[in-house]
Amino acid sequence: MTNIDPNLRRLVIIDVDGLRRDVFRAALEAGHLPNVERIVGGREGRAACRVDALSTAPSITFTAQASIFTGQHPGQHGIAGNESFDRLGRISSGRPRHFGFDVGYTLAVDDAVRVFSDGLASQLLSSETPTLYEIVSANGMTSAVAYNMYARGADAWLPPDIIEIARFTKGPGRLGLEAGQYDGRMLDCLIAHLDTGTRPDVLTAYFMGLDHHSHVNGPASQPAYLRDVIDPQLGRLLDALEARGMLAGALFVLVSDHGQIEVAPDDRHSIRLGFPFDRELGHLFAALGLDVHDVPGEDPACDAVMGLNGGLAHVYLQHRAARWADPPRYAEDVLPAAEAFRQMNEGGKYEESLQGSLDLILIRDAEREGWQAEYRAYLGDGRTQPLGDYLTAHPELDYADPVNRIRLAASALTGDLILVANGREGFYFGGPTTGVHGGLLLAESEAVLTFARPSGSPDQIARLREMVAGVVSDRCASEGDRQPSVADMVPAALALLELSE
């Protein structure tokens, strides 16, 4: 392979949580992002190659960030959501364990702290899937990661401190920390690290504030935050790199993990398990005679567990005559729950307020086909249909590459049922919020993925575009003709840097 540039040896990743692709492109074209222009070569992106990448299923932070930094789909890396249930107890000595990484949804706040105090999310990430940092380290390169939850293999991990996380997630207010301040501190921390004299070959700057701001204020607030907070912070980063001679010859990646949709921040549209008030889904499980895991910190010695992930929810069901590690029986354990959700959705049974709250009920037969069994659309009375056929008959659902994304998500850590909320009518799983994501709709699924070489010559940029397009299209073709994904960042970057996986 010809070397696109012998001096291309540094990778700078700008990771903006929750940034919608349409918002990013419109702001750039409108001339609102002068510092992004320094990276991509003006509004036209003369120094850049952009990929129309999609998020994972669910389109949620911990799952999509894991795909960004391993280059693998959720079925491989094993992070099935911000909330998931590890029925096999992979990192808990075989004891089943519920994980709630995000304070916003979590039942157990401890997990959200442990993500940053002892790398809990990195621990759950499959040891079979190396991170970008482990790969570059094997190639003799160093790396530093600011504020991201995944840093396995990095030489320097700069996590936010716990007090900061707590103040940030409690939101603005007397003791709260504004999103912009939080992002500013991330950059302070990164620049302080460079001030020690280290010159990492791979640098990740993770901006978490925009997503938080957009959850609270709705996605319509993204353009102003991008222009007034993110872009000036990028200016600081570029100046800091330039002053240290680290800008020339750097490859940049601008990436986001998912988008957001606007929903109604009220009780009617937020679908919850209901502890301690408002039982909601709790009624359905009670009617089935199932003890659902719904109390914070409760030992999951129960029959059913849910993972609430915004637009999607996992429903884990135990083989009631065996253990969690055994696949549940399709007829006895799984079908009755699917039917109950259908009756709730179609007729308001169990919980009248949840009638019409679901777009889809997906079901798999792990008993016969294993944990990577195909998810099919549940039609009622025990009948199912291939998801692709169902969606062909329901064009109004208009999801982004749904069949491939669901297929590539399946693992022992996904639910026996996957519920898709009716996001177009503003329904979602979790507590009330104004902006949400997690589902399969375009605006929550489309992500930013732009490769840029600020100091590249026209020939070098042409070669960069050719290589990225080639790597991404080959991989999509080899994986069932899927659409480009955030999981394509790592293989494309490695090809540009001429590193082996």
The three-state (H, E, C) secondary structure of 283-328, written as one string: HHHHHCCCCECCCCCCCCCCCEEEEEEECEEEEEECCCCCCCCCCC
Q: Name the one range near Zn ion by CB under 5 A: 221-229, 250-258, 267-275, 297-305.
A: 250-258
Q: How far is the CB of 428 from Zn ion (least distance, A)?
A: 15
Q: Which string of x and - marks every residue 112-151 that binds Zn ion (by CB under 5 A)?
A: ----------------------------------------
- Integer CA distances (angstroms), 456 to 25, 97, 446, 467, 488, in order: 21, 48, 27, 14, 22
SS3 480: coil
Q: Which stretch binds Zn ion (CB under 5 A): 66-74, 171-179, 209-217, 304-312?
A: 209-217
- Nearer CB in complex with Zn ion: 49/421: 421
In the complex with Zn ion, the residue whose CB is nearer, 211 or 351, is 211
Nearer residue to Zn ion within complex by CB, 101 or 390? 101
* Cβ 437 to Zn ion shortest distance, Å: 7
By C-beta, is 302 or 486 nearer to Zn ion?
A: 486
Please name which of 289, 427, 314 lies closest in space to residue 364, comparing C-alpha atoms: 314
Instruction: Using the rule CB under 5 A, give the single segment among 76-84, 110-118, 254-262, 266-274 that binds Zn ion.
Output: 254-262
- Which residue stretch of 74-82, 109-117, 206-214, 344-352 sits at the interface with Zn ion (rule: CB under 5 A)? 206-214
Kindly state the smallest distance separating residue 211's Cβ from Zn ion, in Å: 5
What is the residue-wise DSSP string for 406-466?
A: HHTT-STTS-SEEEEE-GGGT-EESS--SEE--SSBHHHHB--EEEE-TT--HHHHHHHHH
Compute CA distances 132 → 87, 152, 158, 297, whole Å.
27, 9, 16, 33
Burial class of 457 by CB neighbour count within 10 A (0 to 12, 13 to 18, 19+): exposed
> Does residue 68 come out as left (phi exceeding 0), alpha (psi in the -120 to 50 range) or beta?
alpha
Q: How many residues bind Zn ion (CB under 5 A)?
A: 5
Q: Give the footprint of Zn ion on residues 414-443 (CB under 5 A).
A: none
Q: Which is nearer to Zn ion, 211 or 488 (CB)?
A: 211
Minimum distance between the CB of residue 258 and Zn ion, rounded to whole angstroms? Answer: 5
SS (H, E, C) 5-19: CCCCCEEEEEEECCC
Q: DSSP characters for 91-151?
A: TTTT--EEEE--TTT-S-HHHHHHHHHS-HHHHHS-TTS--HHHHHHHTT--EEEES-S--
Question: Contact between 351 and Zn ion (CB under 5 A)?
Answer: no
CB of residue 199 to Zn ion, shortest distance in Å: 29
Closer of 435 and 454 to Zn ion (Cβ):
435
Q: DSSP string covering 44-107, please?
A: TTTTEEE---B--SS--HHHHHHHHHHS--HHHH----SEEEETT-TTTTT--EEEE--TTT-S
- What token pair was written down for 168? 């940030």
Whole-number Å distance between alpha carbons of 471 and 487: 12
- What does DSSP assign to residue 277? S
Nearer of residues 212 and 329 to Zn ion, judged by Cβ: 212
Tabulate helix, strand, coil % of the chain (nearest 5).
Answer: 40, 20, 45
- Minimum CB distance to Zn ion, residue 345 (Å): 27
Shortest reach from residue 260's CB to Zn ion, in Å: 9
Min dist. Cβ of residue 45 to Zn ion (A): 24
State the minimum distance, in angstroms, from the CB of residue 197 to Zn ion. Answer: 32
Cβ-based nearer residue to Zn ion, 17 or 280: 17
Q: What are the φ/ψ torsions at residue 219 (nearest 5 degrees)? A: -65, -20
Angle (CA) 292-298-300 rounded to 5° is 60
Residues 472 and 452: their CA atoms lie apart, in Å, by: 16
- Least spacing, CB of residue 389 vs Zn ion, in Å: 31
* 257 near Zn ion, rule: CB under 5 A: yes
Interface with Zn ion includes 83 (CB under 5 A)?
no
Residue whose CB is less far from Zn ion, 137 or 450: 450
What distance in Å separates the CA atoms of residue 73 and residue 77, rounded to the nearest whole number? 6
Position among 55, 56, 59, 61 found at the interface with Zn ion (CB under 5 A): 61
CB of 375 to Zn ion, least distance (A): 23
Question: Which lies closer to Zn ion via its Cβ, residue 258 or residue 293?
Answer: 258
**Among residues 17 and 365, whose Cβ is nearest to Zn ion?**
17
In the complex with Zn ion, the residue whose CB is nearer, 137 or 214, is 214
Token pair belonging to 119: 């790398």
Residue nearest Zn ion, CB atom distance = 61
Minimum distance of Zn ion from residue 435's CB (angstroms): 11
The half-sphere exposure of 338 on its side-chain side, counting CA atoms within 13 A, is 27
Site for Zn ion in 14-53 (CB under 5 A): 17-18
Whichever of 61 and 169 has its CB closer to Zn ion, that residue is: 61
Q: Which residues bind Zn ion (CB under 5 A)?
A: 17-18, 61, 211, 257
